[in-house]
Amino acid sequence: MEKKRGSFTDKLGFVLAAAGSAVGLGNLWRFPYLAAKHGGGIFLLIYLILAVTFGFALMVTEIALGRKTRLSAVGAYPALDKRFKFLGYLSSVIPFLITPYYCVIGGWVLKYLVVFLTGQVSSAAADEFFTGYIAQPAAPVIFFVIYVTVGMVAVLLGVEGGIEKASKFMMPVLVVMTVFISVFSLMQPGAMEGLRYYLLPDFSRFSATTVMAAMGQLFYSMSLAMGIMITYGSYMKKETNLEKSVRQIEIFDTGIAFMAGLMIIPAVFAFSGGSEEALGKGPSLMFITLPKVFDNMKFGTLVGAVFFLLVLFAALTSSISLTETLVSIVVDKFKFSRKKACGVVYAWLLALGIPVSLGFGIWSFIKPLGMSLLDFFDFTSNSVLMPIAAIGTCIFVGFVIKPKTLIEEVEVNGRFKMKKFYSIMIKYIAPVCLVAILIFAVMEALGMITV
């Protein structure tokens, strides 16, 4: 029995919608700082390998699960096996942890847009501008609250569609700008060394931490292991070629992340010397490096303003889609009205996001596991809960419903070329590697090993 459910009209529509939600701060902000920190080329190489193996297998799995059951995560797992209901819940918890800090960064982007619009490029390019800014008690919180409120109003009024339309136009512009900024960065003296660092893998830098970081980034960037792609799949038409769509989403998402790295990493070498300290800046890297690039550019104020506006849009489409997910989970689970659910989610985002923001300043004494609050939420979701959810999904598909069930779903319209590879991946390779990664991640965080 086919339930009535709207579906994405044209083939490209599905890919664009899924890619639109996948492309966001994960690509532009998170990927470059992880690549810079974890050895450049070696991180890039590991990421690419993981994307075509794990990423491919998991995305096929989630989309096929959704399309087969026509349900989102909370319903899809128990529809196929009652015992796996918890997996739906587990995946649903993850976006509750990610969204608040995602919006804190959204607030930083908004601030930078204002900085560029008001022409304060040179002050933004100064070394201590960013760290000084996020340590303030009021301003970053205010920008965060504005950002969250804008997103919430969009969800409440149901105008996400409008923002999505706008972003379909903005996305290609963003890609062009990224190319332009990368070329400019690469022309700066000293940048070539950065290019080498980014593209040539240094195998002596290979470590469990690097693999773990790349894996967490893969989940994050492709919105995997949190039920999102299951929901997307539930709207996918049977006529759409699933395998091909997954490839296209992956290429798109990885392409943008790659370009973002190209834009930022060589610039770190050109403007900050490429020392370990400069490369290891973490979450602040984009905000420290790019203003220096713009400050050196003719019309840098304008270019910077346009750039941060585009990043803001990419971030907004992602966080609105995250917020929408949270609202629908609350509606389904607690049978609240949409309005009431929006209120609850809004309160949640503020309750977690404000401490995250203050964690860089007056609350920096709160250091769970020795991390800042942002890093702590990021770690818990990306390095712990997502691998657990992914392991559960592998066991569920590999040994309970069997890969055959989903292969059939992929094959409703043509051959699944990679099906042998897919089966082996989902049954053996992925779960074993994921368990290893999870153990390493937790041991390292608890200080039991240093890698």
Q: Can you give the binding site for ligand TRP, defined by CB under 6 A?
A: 21-22, 24-27, 98, 220-221, 223, 226, 228, 318, 321-322
Sequence-distant (≥ 6) Cβ neighbours of residue 436 within 8 angstroms: none
Nearer to ligand TRP, 121 or 309 (CB): 309
How far apart (Å, rounded) are the C-alpha atoms in residues 228 and 322?
9
Nearer to ligand TRP, 321 or 372 (CB): 321
Nearer to ligand TRP, 26 or 355 (CB): 26
Residue pair 395/75 in contact (Cβ under 8 Å)? The answer is: no
Closest separation between CB of residue 186 and ligand TRP, Å? 24
Nearer to ligand TRP, 240 or 325 (CB): 325
How far apart (Å, rounded) are the C-alpha atoms in residues 183 and 241?
35
How far apart (Å, rounded) are the C-alpha atoms in residues 29 and 286?
6
Closest C-alpha to 50, from 210, 165, 167: 210
Q: What are phi and psi of 50, to 5 degrees?
A: -65, -35
Residue, CB closest to ligand TRP: 26
Closest separation between CB of residue 228 and ligand TRP, Å? 4
Sequence-distant (≥ 6) Cβ neighbours of residue 74 within 8 angstroms: 88, 89, 92, 227, 329, 332, 333
Closest separation between CB of residue 315 and ligand TRP, Å? 7
How far apart (Å, rounded) are the C-alpha atoms in residues 18 and 232?
7
In the structure encoding, which two tokens stand for residue 208, read together? 């469990």
Closest separation between CB of residue 386 and ligand TRP, Å? 10
Closest separation between CB of residue 91 and ligand TRP, Å? 11
How far apart (Å, rounded) are the C-alpha atoms in residues 141 and 61?
39
Nearer to ligand TRP, 98 or 303 (CB): 98
How far apart (Å, rounded) are the C-alpha atoms in residues 425 and 442?
24
Eight-class DSSP state of 326: H
Nearer to ligand TRP, 98 or 418 (CB): 98
Nearer to ligand TRP, 121 or 218 (CB): 218
Closest separation between CB of residue 239 and ligand TRP, Å? 25
Closest separation between CB of residue 244 and ligand TRP, Å? 20
Nearer to ligand TRP, 47 or 197 (CB): 47
Closest separation between CB of residue 93 and ligand TRP, Å? 13
How far apart (Å, rounded) are the C-alpha atoms in residues 86 and 436?
22
Provide the 10 A C-beta neighbour count for residue 399: 12
